[in-house]
Each structure stands twice: as structure tokens, then as C-alpha cells.
Amino acid sequence: MNGLSPALAASLAAVVFAALFQGILTVQAYIYYESFPQDPWGLKSLVAVVWILDLVHLGVVGSVSWNVLVVNWGDKAVFLVKSIPLSTHIILVAIPTLICQGFFLHQLWMCSKKNIALNGVLTLGSIAVFVLDFYFIVKTLSSADLRDYQHDTVEIISMFSIGAASMDLK
């Protein structure tokens, strides 16, 4: 059971951090709605959609941890089996990320006096990460065994590197 402990701890930590960030997002959304009641309904809807997607994401992360920590307690094979919630998790991270990055890119477009080069590079980075996210969703759903894509380290590193770089530049 000792070799399983880090994986179980990671599963529990995922729920704790997802709940923490959901709480932060909830406070931010509340402050936004209280501070800017005159904002257009489209912007308010955007905030609501991101909040709802994050709430659903918390439920998915919680269900994965429940499956690992309670339903399949002690079974190492649970980490190697195709999981619909894993793909759902990726979707529920990819879509709000793209929405938020799109909002920031729009703001940057307006503030940079419509700088095509700057916005083009950042938009390509955001889209690249989104496409790589969906690559992993398809890869995860098309394989019965998660070990089938353990050699995709270049794609995994690219996904996180491009995402981090494009967020740092914003």
C-alpha cells in the first residue's frame, strides 16, 4: 500500500485545491456582481458560465476522488483504466480557460491599439493549448488503458509550456 500513498494524496489534494479555487472564484463573482451592476448582460453571463463550469468541475474532481479513495480503495489498477470523468475534467478546464483567455485577449486587443502581432501570438498559444487538451480527451477516450499514451510526453510538455507561456505574456 506504500506505493499507492502518493497517488491517493494527489487525488485528495486535487479536491482540496479545486474547492479552494471554487471558493475564490465564488467570492470574485459575488464581488463583481455587487460592484458592477451596470455591466452588460453578456459580460455578466460570461462570469456566470465560468462559475458554473468551475462548479461542475469541482463535482467531477470530487467524484474521481470518491471513486479512487472510497469505491476502489487500495486498487492500483483504478489509475490505469479509461475514465470518462478524466476526460470531462479536461473539458471543464479547457473551456473556461479558453473563455477567460479570450476575454483577456479582447481586453489586450483594445488596450494595445489592435496590435495584430502581439494578439496573434497569444491567440495562437491559447488555441494550441485548447487543441492539445482535446487531443488528450480523444486519446483518453479512445484507449482502454491509460498506459497507451504514456509516451506522449512531448505533447504533454507542450500543452503545459505553451499554456504557461501564453498566460505569462498576458
Q: Is 114 left (phi over 0), alpha (psi -120 to 50) or beta?
A: left
> Please, is 41 exposed, middle or buried when counting C-beta atoms within 10 Å of its C-beta (0-12, 13-18, 19+)?
exposed
Model confidence over 156-169: pLDDT tens digits? 555 555 554 444 44
- Mean pLDDT is lowest, of 41-50, 123-132, 156-165, for 156-165
Model confidence over 72-106: pLDDT tens digits? 787 777 776 767 787 788 888 889 989 999 999 99
Res. 117 pLDDT band, cuts 50 70 90: very high
- What's the whole-model pTM score? 0.76
Q: How far apart are CA 58 and CA 64, in angstroms?
A: 10
Domain range spanning residue 105? Answer: 2-169
Give the pLDDT confidence score for residue 43 in this predicted structure.
93
Total structural domains within the chain: 1
